Chain A
Amino acid sequence: MTASLTLQSLVLGVLLGGLYALLAAGLTLYFGVMRVVMIAHSALLILAAYIAWFFERQTGLDPLLSLVITVPLFFVAGVVMQRLLIARLRPATLTMMSVLLTFSIALLIEGLLGFVFTGTHRRIQLPYSGTHFEFFGASIAVVKLIAFGLAAASLAALYVLLKTTRFGQALRATIQHPDAARLVGINTDRVAGYGFGLGLATAAIGGTALSLDSTIYPSLHWHWIGPLMAIIVVGGLGSIPGAAIAAMALGLSQSLLQIPLGTTWAQTLFYVALFATLMLRPQGFFGGRLAQRF
């Protein structure tokens, strides 16, 4: 393995890890506010990618512009989904039933995408699709860099939102202790709805970033949900920084392992990490008290 090849996969790993981190942050938000394991997250990711592709094909404009539509749309869809569907479930069986509900949403999205756009593999062709630049002997595609920039910027915005605003404080309080949050006057139902909206918004951004340099097809979401789930468990359920760190670490390792093992076997890394975490440290590496009980 030459030095430049290693550097190349290191860079690619960081770029991939950024996208993983954004999506895992979304999954963590759902879990934090409602204790919901959102299986439809990656299906929504693919849906956003399809919207970006369709937008580009219909208008000829840059697919990044579709964010103007998809982010607000997905945010509203998230609030609606939480208020109308998830909140209807009985609290006693919420975790299990919400898994099934979000699973059925994932199936519906996959089925509808297949129905409307057929199973054909789709890819966006951009004028700058093939553009590369050299970085100490490693060649990096511009589109990958844009995707990473988008993910990093959104993650930073999410961080600022959670840490500095009143809403962020309310959201974190709801995640930590819903009952106590209600006692100090936080409308936890509304906050949970917005938390869901934010989670879906990360899927919208991630999907657009994904559409820039990947081939998409309706059943692609199964390839994403497994790694993402592994990331949030390794990071500790409910911990956003934990999810981001785990995403970076696993994304990097996957990229490095691809060289000796090939893409398929490198993917199994996520599952090995998942089982190892549950055996050694079931609460995850950055999760606290919250994760222990789930």
Chain B
Amino acid sequence: MHSVSDPRPGRGRTAVRTARVVGLVALVALVAAFPSLAPDSFILSVGVVIASYAVLATSWNFVGGFTGYISLGHAAYSGLGGYATALLILRADVNPWLALALGGLIVAALAVPIGIASLRVRGASFVIVSIALVLILLLVFQSWGSFTGGSNGLRVPRPFGDDVLRPEQHERFFYLHAALLAVLLLCWWAIDRSRFGMGLKAIREDEDKAQSLGVPTFAYKLVVFVVSAFFTAIGGGMYALWFGYLDPIFQFSILVGSYMVLMSLLGGIRSLFGPLLGAVIVGYAMEFFKAQYGDTQAHLIAMGALLALVVLFMPDGIIPALGNLVNRFRPKAASIRELTAEELTVQREQQEVRG
């Protein structure tokens, strides 16, 4: 996926563009039609779960995709978003939708000091803080029972009246999630094409070089980190409103954070639709596993094995792999293209061998 448009010979370019537009229209139509195509309420609820995963994975990808900083603890922000929304409704009697937005803003404000602490140094500390944050929040939310409901969990009141039945609820929340996802994809796309996005991608490829070229690396990383935390919190809040129940064990779980990573990585963290594709595949597989094997440890093994396979054999994800396949049948691009630091090294080595 090249965001710097490359002037290729005319016909191929229009064909690709047409294919993209058709694909996008088909995707939108599929999403819009899904609730009426779903045979029963259960399938519809699976659809909502997958949409929620897609929202979370895409939010994660603002940090992971642009800067290459892998956060294993984004469950902290989705969990906090869910709890903030629920607690605002329950304790302060705020309108649910207002609570959702406020919750997102509160989490974004919290993300500022966390980001300052974890982004001042390079990747390793960032990962450690991201994991530590989930573990500490789990401890706090379990122990502080008087405020958060503790291990007993917290019941979230439904935003729609009692006269709205369950299938109707699922349908509404499916569309709400889809709309949120559309906003996220639009933001990602806009950043991807902007100067800001170029700076972030420079950080991903070589942070030292980016810094010496004048990219304000720390400020850029912090801004995109806060944006990512905000969207993740909104995603978590939306999920809380739909599901209606929060338990610290499931909200602040390392596993939830690692699902976001796995989904994005599987689809391709450099691609706009990568996390969405990953969420559909992994989310479907997970629901299938749950239905087949129940709550055994099998899903841990499957998840671990899949993550290891993706990291070892397909770290770029499905979409770039497919893209390479298509590119084989296209004329070679001659002008400026985006290259990763990895590709550059390979090219240079090849040239050295030849020369």
Q: Give the interface of A toward B (CB within 8 A).
A: 31, 35, 37, 39, 85, 88-90, 92-93, 95-97, 99-101, 103-108, 110-115, 119, 218, 222, 225-226, 229-230, 232-233, 237, 264-265, 267-268, 270-271, 274-275, 278-279, 282-283, 291-294
Q: Which residues of B contact A97 (CB under 8 A)?
A: 311, 315
**Could you tell me the dominant secondary structure of chain A's interface residues?**
helix
A111–B122 CB distance below 8 A: no
10 A-B contacts (beta carbon < 8 Å): A37-B127, A95-B127, A101-B308, A103-B72, A108-B305, A115-B297, A270-B132, A275-B114, A278-B118, A294-B124
Which chain B residues in 154-209 approach chain A with CB under 8 Å? none
| Contact of B117 with A by CB under 8 A | yes
Q: How far is the CA of A274 from the CA of B125 in the complex (A)?
A: 10
Q: Which residues of A contact B123 (CB under 8 A)?
A: 95-96, 294
Number of interface residues of B (CB under 8 A): 49
Q: How far is the CA of A21 from the CA of B341 in the complex (A)?
A: 38
Instruction: Known A89-B311, A90-B342, A279-B116; judge A39-B124 contact (CB<8 A).
Output: no
Closest Cβ of chain B to A38, distance in Å, is 11
**Shortest Cβ distance from A274 into B: residue:** B132
**Shortest Cβ distance from B121 into A: residue:** A282
Q: How many A-B residue pairs have CB under 8 A?
A: 149
Closest Cβ of chain A to B143, distance in Å, is 5
Stretch of B31-39, B94-102, B134-142 lying at the A interface: B134-142
Closest Cβ of chain B to A287, distance in Å, is 10
Closest Cβ of chain A to B225, distance in Å, is 14
| Contact of B58 with A by CB under 8 A | no
Q: Which residues of A contact B339 (CB under 8 A)?
A: none
B297–A100 CB distance below 8 A: no
Q: How far is the CA of A99 from the CA of B127 in the complex (A)?
A: 8
Instruction: Known A37-B128, A268-B140; judge A88-B312 contact (CB<8 A).
Output: yes
Q: Give the interface of B toward A (CB within 8 A).
A: 68-70, 72, 114, 116-118, 120-125, 127-129, 131-133, 135-136, 139-140, 142-143, 254, 258, 261, 265, 296-305, 307-308, 311-312, 315, 340-342, 345
Contact of B131 among A110, A119, A226, A292 (CB under 8 A): A226
- Beyond contacts A233-B128, A294-B122: 10 other A-B pairs, Cβ-Cβ < 8 A, are A93-B68, A96-B70, A104-B307, A110-B297, A226-B136, A233-B125, A275-B117, A278-B121, A282-B121, A293-B121
A104–B132 CB distance below 8 A: no
Q: How far is the CA of A105 from the CA of B311 in the complex (A)?
A: 12
Q: Which residues of B contact A101 (CB under 8 A)?
A: 307-308, 311-312
Q: Which residues of B contact A237 (CB under 8 A)?
A: 124-125
B315–A278 CB distance below 8 A: no
B142–A264 CB distance below 8 A: yes
Q: How far is the CA of A97 from the CA of B127 in the complex (A)?
A: 11
Closest Cβ of chain B to A290, distance in Å, is 11
The 3 closest A-B pairs by CB, nearest first: A111-B300, A107-B304, A114-B297
Q: How far is the CA of A89 from the CA of B315 in the complex (A)?
A: 9
